[in-house]
Amino acid sequence: MTKKIIVIVKSPEIKKVIKKILLDSSYEIYYFEEIREALDIIYDEVPDLVLIEAVNNPFVEVSIINDLKSDPLFVSMNVLAIVSPDFYTEDWQNFIVDDYVRVNELQIDLPMRINLCFERLERVIATSPLTKLPGNLVIQREIQKRLQRGDVFALAYADLDNFKPFNDKYGFSRGDQVIKMLGRLILNIIRSEQPNGSFVGHIGGDDFVYIMSPEKIEETTQKIINIFDNLVINFYDEEDIRKGYIESVDREGKTHLYPIMTVSVGITSNQFRTFKHFSEMAEVASMMKSVAKKQKEKRYAIDRRRK
């Protein structure tokens, strides 16, 4: 998809330089002299980058941008400020830009700065802000890359049982702590059991995936389940630990009793069957996770089909 850049410059000379630099680029570029003129297009479709001239009164010129960046909708919008040759500030709290380029260095630095902004944003999007683990995009690429290389590997899909009632009762902050603990636990155990060739990703919410060799994944999964069982009670109030359950209200307003959280894992592998696309493999792992949730004795289920 073509990246959209909003350029806001008053100086005809600077605009001329920018146009020359970006002449052969593949970006979709819109030029404005005042930020207020650009707001309609910024609100209608959040651009990938706003390039704003902030040479004479930098704090005044980016003040509206600062307001926009305080809105979660615009957090991912890159802002690159063009500043004077002698620009200096330590007040970055009131100068919310993602990067800056000095006006006398536009010719050399502007293309690099723009590319850097886009690369940095992609890395941020690709990482879970809560667990710092690779997110959905990286997970998909990792699975597809291994399938295309012909690697033999096992994929596990893990999530928590009774997480929502826990979140409802104790609040999202304590829920986030549990998710962070699970992510760290999976990462540490996978790294310990298979330092090379393994992978851990955080899909989002309480959903995680990990990749290991088929020979190691069952024993490692049981280890993750056991250690999680020991750790998770630290997140409950003493009274609830004594009872062995929590009381929480469902969407219909009815009170239910929910057991202490556990983790369920679905596992599949391309050792004895063929997957061409990451989504096929992820779907089977997810299906096995549903099987695991219905089991009473084991909280993991392995796809052992050979076709």
The top-scoring range by mean pLDDT among 94-98, 140-144, 152-156 is 152-156
Residues 213 and 186: their CA atoms lie apart, in Å, by 15
Separation in Å, CA 209 to CA 8, 199, 201: 43, 8, 5
Confidence of residue 253 (pLDDT cuts 50, 70, 90): confident
Confidence of residue 199 (pLDDT cuts 50, 70, 90): very high
Q: Are residues 178 and 294 in the same domain?
A: yes
Residues 258 and 40: their CA atoms lie apart, in Å, by 49
Q: Are residues 37 and 86 in the same domain?
A: yes
Q: What is the pLDDT of residue 46?
A: 84
Q: What is the pLDDT of residue 72?
A: 63
Output 109 or 95, whichever has higher pLDDT: 109
Q: Are residues 278 and 260 in the same domain?
A: yes
Residues 111 and 192: their CA atoms lie apart, in Å, by 42
Q: Are residues 206 and 111 in the same domain?
A: no
What percent of the chain has pLDDT above 90? Answer: 66
What percent of the chain has pLDDT above 70? Answer: 97
pLDDT over threshold 80, residue 71:
no
Residue 307 lies in a domain: no
Structure tokens belonging to residue 203: 């899909």
Residue 183 lies in a domain: yes
Measured from the Cβ of residue 284, the count of other Cβ atoms closer than 10 Å reads 21
pLDDT over threshold 90, residue 65:
no
Q: What is the pLDDT of residue 50?
A: 93
Domain termination site, one of 126, 160, 188? 126
Q: Are residues 286 and 174 in the same domain?
A: yes
What CATH number has the domain bearing residue 10? 3.40.50.2300
Q: Are residues 227 and 273 in the same domain?
A: yes
Q: What is the pLDDT of residue 10?
A: 92
pLDDT over threshold 70, residue 29:
yes
Q: Are residues 152 and 38 in the same domain?
A: no
Alpha-helical regions (H) of 80-213: 106-125, 136-149, 163-170, 172-193
Domain termination site, one of 96, 126, 156? 126
Domain termination site, one of 92, 126, 160? 126
Q: What is the pLDDT of residue 307?
A: 66
Q: What is the enclosing helix (H) or strand (E) of 31?
A: strand 28-32
Instruction: Kindly state the average pLDDT of the residues 195-210.
Output: 94
Domain hosting residue 19, numbered range: 3-126
Q: What is the pLDDT of residue 66?
A: 80
Residues 141 and 179: their CA atoms lie apart, in Å, by 23
Q: What is the pLDDT of residue 33?
A: 92
Residue 206 contacts residue 182 (beta carbons within 8 Å)? yes
Q: Are residues 213 and 258 in the same domain?
A: yes
Residue 294 lies in a domain: yes
Q: Are residues 173 and 255 in the same domain?
A: yes
Instruction: Kindly state the average pLDDT of the residues 133-159.
Output: 93
Residue 108 lies in a domain: yes
Instruction: Kindly state the average pLDDT of the residues 93-99.
Output: 84
Structure tokens belonging to residue 259: 């057991």
Residue 131 lies in a domain: no
Q: Are residues 287 and 238 in the same domain?
A: yes
What CATH number has the domain bearing residue 185? 3.30.70.270
Instruction: Kindly state the average pLDDT of the residues 187-205.
Output: 94
3-state per-residue secondary structure call for 215-275: HHHHHHHHHHHHHHHHHHHHHCCHHHHHHCEEEEECCCCCEEEEECCEEEEEEEECCCCCC
What one-character DSSP code corresponds to residue 32? E
Least confident of 92-106, 169-183, 220-234, 257-271: 92-106
Residue 61 contacts residue 53 (beta carbons within 8 Å)? yes
For the chain, what is the domain count? Answer: 2
Q: Are residues 99 and 148 in the same domain?
A: no
Q: By CB neighbour count within 10 A (0-12 exposed, 13-18 middle, 19+ buried), where does 184 fall?
A: middle
Q: Are residues 119 and 169 in the same domain?
A: no
pLDDT over threshold 70, residue 285:
yes
Confidence of residue 302 (pLDDT cuts 50, 70, 90): very high
Confidence of residue 152 (pLDDT cuts 50, 70, 90): very high
